[in-house]
């Protein structure tokens, strides 16, 4: 074999492995996808031509060939232990007290806190830096050999990067399914009439136990390393935190939320902070793991039964509980969509009392096979709207009632039409339906649309119920005489509403488009339309090809836009807005290219001179990419007063933190 050829393919493998690490572990891709695909294809072509060059650590070998007939058992180098649980602040305090009484140490004992991912624990064994096998926890002493499946997970290195790692290395971690992957998996299952998974953990477990690794590869799982198992050499750091940091340099993903703590106050603050951001993490967690940091102190503390004394799992309040489905009511949205809402016997779940849950549509009711009177399992994750995930058929009462969609709208009595393959039901009342009108006005006045201060939900309800408005345009015909007659509306408040309505007539073109509530046209799409079309005349007459040529607009959204602007009532409404003096700002404004164009910036806290939204629009106009959350590829965090978790995360990741004044200086303003 030509040594130059061997060297070439080895270098290619090393390069692609590093690119995978940057993309899947660091979330900071350094090359375009096309370049990665080109190098990957080159390796594949060389291996096809020279099969003797294929190695187990090649990026092309993540997915196995022939499905397994069964999983073999494999022994762990060291036992995989379980943790004792605590459920409240008192439990955490008792854990700290036990540690302090058992360790006679002069210095403050340092702990490490990490989110407890709701996934499947695994052990990965490497020999000479190459993945040899992966196994489930099993009974703690041995587990199932799932090597063929763990190889498909892109955040698991097939070969360790860098150097200095032991000849034999066992790493423990949690394999989980990110929320977006879970949602995509269930959407596909519904589309093909297949069974859906109840939660991401079940989906991850089911994916790992597939005998065909091609199925596992399609599920888009991730892995987060959380501890060291066995090491053949005593050269690693003497503490847990630094060991995980070393594992990260060798190619493993570790959790960004990991923190060092030293006292009870820091424990409680960490619990509160992680609980608050739980729903925005992008993956499921069911608690927090606290560990003594130093390995020598861990050894001093030892174990009780099969659990270590030096670690504990604080479990969040249960996110699933059983309750009774009392009734199903049907609500009408601004587009006329009829949404079934479950009325439940109140139950405490996820830290709050839940009495309502969304059922989405009739197809979801059929999938769940639920009836009124059933015992149902309700799930609430963080701030997410509660939902019914399943029902207990065995406990169905004899007098249960089947759920059927009404023939007429519960608000205006107009006929209900079922469309989109029987999934979506809509009220046909449109302008005569008070429910649709209320929701349309609320959307029009919302912060991201025209931001009409004082025009809240309760006031909108009154305006429609008392027939003071019958369209969005009627808002601008209101006067003091009719406003002061409303409940809890003093003259000063009425004047403020009139003033806010007048001020809203000067608005950006993109905000106005968004406020119209075109189906599936959000903020980003509205901005695209406003930057391309100079006025409503050109937008209303745009053909499908022109619309689809714009970023993020596909055939369905293009059709929604055309259908919306083809309605006679919409055209008359736009003319009315023009007559009452609306002036649209920033129409087709070209993006200014500044010195920080294409930089990724996050804004947090209260700024001294402008709102976050005003700065966001200014940055976008200068070609800056404004992000919603801090990550390793964020360039700057603009922080004002009372900045919270984003500021802490920026500091932890080494992201530069700057002031409003500094960012304006960069923009040369």
CA–CA distance, 457 with 313 (Å, rounded to integer): 42
Rg (CA), the chain: 29
345 band by pLDDT with thresholds 50, 70 and 90 = very high
Residue range 286-343, pLDDT digits in tens: 899 999 999 999 988 888 767 899 999 998 876 778 899 999 999 998 889 999 999 9
More confident call, 312 vs 25: 312
Given the residues 42, 70, 77, 116, select the one marked as catalytic: 116
DSSP 497-516: HHHHHHHTTEEEHHHHHHHT
CA–CA distance, 561 with 378 (Å, rounded to integer): 37
More confident call, 32 vs 139: 139
Q: In the 3-class helix/strand/coil scheme, how is 577-645 assigned residue by residue? A: HHHCCCEEECCCCCCCCCCCCCCEEEEECECCCCCHHHHHHHHHHCCCEEECCCCCCCCEEEECECCCH
CA–CA distance, 185 with 19 (Å, rounded to integer): 26
Q: Which domains does the chain have, with CATH numbers?
A: 3-61 (1.10.287.610), 85-315 (3.30.470.30), 320-424 (2.40.50.140), 433-504 (1.10.150.20), 508-585 (1.10.150.20), 600-666 (3.40.50.10190)
Cβ neighbours of 308 (radius 10 Å): 18
Report yes or no on whether pTM surpasses 0.85: no
For residues 439-446, average pLDDT: 94
CA–CA distance, 113 with 480 (Å, rounded to integer): 57
Helix runs in 136-231, H state only: 147-150, 179-191, 200-208, 213-217
CA–CA distance, 116 with 315 (Å, rounded to integer): 8
Nearest one of 359, 364, 332 to 343, comparing CA atoms: 359
* Residues 6 or more apart in contact with residue 519 via CB below 8 angstroms: 335, 560, 564
Distance (Å) of CA 570 to CA 189, 560, 574 = 37, 13, 6
Per-residue pLDDT at 384: 61
Per the structure block, which two tokens stand in for 565? 């602007």
CA angle centred on 534, ends 533 and 537, rounded to 5°: 80
Task: List the single range of 62-76, 440-454, 632-646, 650-664 with lowest mean pLDDT.
Answer: 62-76
DSSP 164-182: ---SEEEEEEEEE--HHHH
Residue range 477-535, pLDDT digits in tens: 999 988 988 888 889 999 999 999 999 999 999 999 999 999 889 888 898 898 888 88
Environment class of 178 (CB within 10 Å of its CB; exposed 0-12, middle 13-18, buried 19+) = middle
For residues 341-355, average pLDDT: 87
For residues 31-57, average pLDDT: 78
CA–CA distance, 105 with 80 (Å, rounded to integer): 28
Per-residue pLDDT at 470: 92
Sheet holding 85-86, edge to edge: 85-86, 311-315, 285-292, 111-117, 259-261
14 band by pLDDT with thresholds 50, 70 and 90 = confident
Kind plus residue range of the DSSP H or E element containing 496: helix 491-503
Per the structure block, which two tokens stand in for 632? 């390793």
Q: Would you say residue 67 has pLDDT above 70?
A: no
- How many residues does this entry show for the chain? 669
For residues 25-29, average pLDDT: 64
For residues 651-665, average pLDDT: 88
Residue range 546-568, pLDDT digits in tens: 898 887 788 889 999 999 999 88
- Chain centroid to Cα 210, Å, comes to 26
- Contact indicator for 210, 149 with CB cutoff of 8 Å: yes
Could you tell me the maximum CA-CA distance found in the chain, to the nearest angstrom? 93
Per the structure block, which two tokens stand in for 182? 């879970």
Q: Would you say residue 589 has pLDDT above 50?
A: no
Kind plus residue range of the DSSP H or E element containing 520: none
For the chain, percent of residues with pLDDT exceeding 70: 93
Per the structure block, which two tokens stand in for 237? 């750091």
Nearest one of 621, 669, 625 to 510, comparing CA atoms: 621
231 band by pLDDT with thresholds 50, 70 and 90 = very high
- Contact indicator for 441, 471 with CB cutoff of 8 Å: no
Pairing, β 120-127 against β 130-136: antiparallel
Nearest one of 134, 166, 165 to 250, comparing CA atoms: 165
Distance (Å) of CA 295 to CA 63, 121, 239, 289, 290 = 37, 21, 5, 16, 14
* Residues 6 or more apart in contact with residue 354 via CB below 8 angstroms: 323, 344, 346, 347, 348, 378, 380, 386
CA–CA distance, 225 with 253 (Å, rounded to integer): 6
Q: Would you say residue 590 has pLDDT above 50?
A: no
Residue range 101-117, pLDDT digits in tens: 888 666 678 999 999 99
Active site residue 116: yes
For residues 275-296, average pLDDT: 89
CA–CA distance, 11 with 15 (Å, rounded to integer): 6
- Contact indicator for 373, 397 with CB cutoff of 8 Å: yes
């Amino acid at each position: 074999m030509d040594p130059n050829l061997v060297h070439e393919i080895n270098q290619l493998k090393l390069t692609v492995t590093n690119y995978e690490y940057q993309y899947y572990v660091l979330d900071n891709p350094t090359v375009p996808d096309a370049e990665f695909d080109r190098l990957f294809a080159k390796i594949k072509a060389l291996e096809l031509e020279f099969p003797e060059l294929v190695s187990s650590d090649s990026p092309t070998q993540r997915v196995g060939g022939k499905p397994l007939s069964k999983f073999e058992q494999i022994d762990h180098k060291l036992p995989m232990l379980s943790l004792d649980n605590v459920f409240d602040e008192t439990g955490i305090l008792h854990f700290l007290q036990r540690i302090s009484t058992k360790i006679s140490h002069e210095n403050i004992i340092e702990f490490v806190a990490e989110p407890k991912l709701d996934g499947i624990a695994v052990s990965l064994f490497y020999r000479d830096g190459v993945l040899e096998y992966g196994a489930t926890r099993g009974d703690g002493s041995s587990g199932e050999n799932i090597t063929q499946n763990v190889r498909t997970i892109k955040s698991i290195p097939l070969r360790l990067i860098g150097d200095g790692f032991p000849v034999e290395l066992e790493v423990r971690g949690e394999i989980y399914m990110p929320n977006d992957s879970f949602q995509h998996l269930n959407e596909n299952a519904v589309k093909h009439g297949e069974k859906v998974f109840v939660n991401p953990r079940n989906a991850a477990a089911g994916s790992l136990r597939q005998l065909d690794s091609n199925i596992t590869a399609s599920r888009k799982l991730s892995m987060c390393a959380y501890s060291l198992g066995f090491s053949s050499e005593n050269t690693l750091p003497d503490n847990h935190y630094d060991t995980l940091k070393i594992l990260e340099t060798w190619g493993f993903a570790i959790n960004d939320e990991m923190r060092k703590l030293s006292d009870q106050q820091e424990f409680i603050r960490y619990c509160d902070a992680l609980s608050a951001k739980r729903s925005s993490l992008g993956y499921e967690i069911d608690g927090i793991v606290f560990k003594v940091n130093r390995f020598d102190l861990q050894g001093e503390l030892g174990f009780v039964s099969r659990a270590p004394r030096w670690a504990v799992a604080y479990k969040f309040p249960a996110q699933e509980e059983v309750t009774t489905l009392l009734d199903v009511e049907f609500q009408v949205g601004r587009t006329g969509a009829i949404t079934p809402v479950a009325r439940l016997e109140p139950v405490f779940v996820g830290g709050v009392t839940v009495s309502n849950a969304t059922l989405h549509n009739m197809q979801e009711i059929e999938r769940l096979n639920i009836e009124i009177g059933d015992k149902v399992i309700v799930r609430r994750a963080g701030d997410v709207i509660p939902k019914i995930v399943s029902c207990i058929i065995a406990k169905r009462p004899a007098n249960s009632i089947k759920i059927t969609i009404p023939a007429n709208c519960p608000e205006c009595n107009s006929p209900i039409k079922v469309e989109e393959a029987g999934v979506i039901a809509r009220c046909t009342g449109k302008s005569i339906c008070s429910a649709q009108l209320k929701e349309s006005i609320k959307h029009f006045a919302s912060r991201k649309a025209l931001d009409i201060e004082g025009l809240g939900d309760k006031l909108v309800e009154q305006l429609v119920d008392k027939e003071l408005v019958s369209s969005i345009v009627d808002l601008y015909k209101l006067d003091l005489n009719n406003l002061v007659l409303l409940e809890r509306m003093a003259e000063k408040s009425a004047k403020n509403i009139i003033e806010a309505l007048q001020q809203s007539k000067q608005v950006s073109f993109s905000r106005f488009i968004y406020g119209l509530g075109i189906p599936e046209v959000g903020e980003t799409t509205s901005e695209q339309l406003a930057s391309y079309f100079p006025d409503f005349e050109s937008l209303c007459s745009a053909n499908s090809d022109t619309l689809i040529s714009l970023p993020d607009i596909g055939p369905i959204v293009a059709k929604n836009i055309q259908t919306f602007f083809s309605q006679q009532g919409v055209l008359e409404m736009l003319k009315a807005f023009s007559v009452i003096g609306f002036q649209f700002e920033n129409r087709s404004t070209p993006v200014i290219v500044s010195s920080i164009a294409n930089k990724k910036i996050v804004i947090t806290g209260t700024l001294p001179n402008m709102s976050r939204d005003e700065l966001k629009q200014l940055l976008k106009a200068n070609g800056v990419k404004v992000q919603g959350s801090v990550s390793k590829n964020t360039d700057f965090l603009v922080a004002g007063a009372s900045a919270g978790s984003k500021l802490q995360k920026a500091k932890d990741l080494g992201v530069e933190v700057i002031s409003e004044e500094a960012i304006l200086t960069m923009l040369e303003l």
